[in-house]
Structure 1
Amino acid sequence: MGFGQLTVELIFGFFSLLLVTRFLGKTQITQLTAFDFISALIMGELLGNAIYDDDTGVVKIFYAITVWGLLIFAIQILGQKSIFFRNLLEGTPSLVIQKGVINRQALKKNRMNINELLNLLRIKDVFSVREVEYAILEANGSLTLLRKPEFDTPTLSDLKIPFQSKSLPKLLVSDGIILSHELQEANLSESWLRNELEMQGYSDINNIFYAEWREEDGLFVIEK
């Protein structure tokens, strides 16, 4: 196989995998279950074997990735329609701590020991089981917990402190470039932005590394 053919197959394979991943949805990345992990491994293996096989061309690479992607998509649709298949493929959450008591049967069922449970608790900034009322081991291996009232973080409502709603910040300037679509979403104009920057002493947009705007806080600027 020449370098030219290898380059073409690598580029084609890369964008094919990217398109299939985008088609299958963000759950392939953000909610990696056992099934998603296996499917991603096999898809990468298919591409790797196809690229370094002299008898395999671009058409066969595309065919292999497409068929496997369609199989994953069909199984995802089946999981959406059937609770049984959803539980079979993705697994079900397990209640590992109930009313402050560790459920040893749930730990045994999930092949988990006490050290692994304590590790997951520490990731959640909990250093003692006595602080936890309920803990659920999710299908993707993460731990969701509910603290006991005496160990829970108080909210502004609990403390009777007045509060106001918050809005998402908008990135208006990135590395000297004005992001027009962000301005439009915030119902702001470029002339308004330039005036605000000048009021803060920034006359040249090219010198702005980062500028964000939030309704309740105004404009925040970081210079290069």
Structure 2
Amino acid sequence: MNDHLIILIRSFSAFIILMVIARALGKQTLSNMNFHDFVTAVILGAIAANFAFNEKIEVAHLLIALSVFTITSYILSKLFLKFRKFKMWTEGTPTVLIEGGVILEENMKKII
């Protein structure tokens, strides 16, 4: 088969698989993404991109890698909902920079 056609098929397959995983993990907009969601999206995208362009990667290996990250992400999401302290420990807490129209300079020093 032509190399270009193989890459086309593998790319399309990776896209479809990522769409299914994204649907399974739930809808999340970029503005509502937390650190965990961002890392998961980057990793899943990198795995899919490698599959699309690296013909040495087998489909079974792709499915195993995507499954591990999908299941891990799903479990972490459930743990974050159930254990608020676990989420705060892994993601940290937000720092208030402006309160009542006043810039909190002490908090500004914390983020630098």
The alignment covers a number of residue pairs equal to: 111
CA–CA distance in 2 between the matches of 1:28 and 1:80? 18
Q: TM-score, normalised by structure 2?
A: 0.81
Runs (4+) of structure 1 exceeding 4 A deviation are: none
Q: 5 Å matches for 1:144-155?
A: none
Structure with the bigger percentage of helix: 2
Question: For structure 2, which runs of at least 5 residues remain unmatched after alignment?
Answer: none
Instruction: Give the SS at the match of 2:97.
Output: strand
Q: TM-score, normalised by structure 1?
A: 0.44
Map 1:105-124 onto structure 2 (within 5 A).
105-111=106-112
Structure 1 residue 50: deviation in Å? 2.4
Partner of 2:75: 74
Q: Identify the residue that residue 19 of structure 1 maps to in structure 2.
A: 20
Indicate how the Cα distance of structure 1 residues 90 and 104 shifts in structure 2: closer, same or farther if over 3 A, else same: same
Amino acid at match of 1:19: V
Residues 9-34 of structure 1: per-residue CA shift (max 9 Å, x gap)? 11111011111111111226441222
- Relative CO higher for 1 or 2, CA cutoff 8 Å, sep ≥ 6? 2
Per-residue deviation, residues 105-134 of structure 1 (Å, max 9, x unmatched): 2222223xxxxxxxxxxxxxxxxxxxxxxx
What is the Cα deviation at residue 95 of structure 1? 2.2
> Which residue is 2:39 aligned to?
38
Give the letter aligned to residue 73 of structure 1: Y
Aligned partner letter, 1:13: A
Structure 1 gap ranges (5+) = 112-224
Residue 86 of structure 2 corresponds to residue 88 of structure 1 = no
The corresponding residue for 2:102 is 101
The amino acid across from 1:14 in the alignment is F
Q: Which amino acid aligns with 1:104?
A: E
**Higher strand share goes to which structure?**
1
Conservation of the 8 A alpha-carbon contact between 1:12 and 1:58: no
Deviations 1:152-211 (A, max 9, x none): xxxxxxxxxxxxxxxxxxxxxxxxxxxxxxxxxxxxxxxxxxxxxxxxxxxxxxxxxxxx
Q: Provide closer, same or farther for how the CA distance between residues 29 and 62 of structure 1 changes in structure 2, counting only shifts above 3 A.
A: farther
Q: Match for 1:108: what amino acid? A: K
Q: 1:27 to 1:5 in 2, by over 3 A?
A: same
The separation in 2 between residues aligned to 1:63 and 1:5, in whole angstroms, is: 21
Distance in 1 between residues matched to 2:9 and 2:58, nearest whole Å: 10
Computing the radius of gyration from Cα coordinates, the structure with the larger value is 1
Against the structure 1 CA distance between its residues 105 and 57, is the aligned structure 2 distance closer, same or farther, given a 3 Å change threshold?
same
Residue in 2 that maps onto 1:121: none
Q: Secondary structure at the match of 1:27?
A: coil
Letter of the structure 1 residue corresponding to residue 33 of structure 2: L
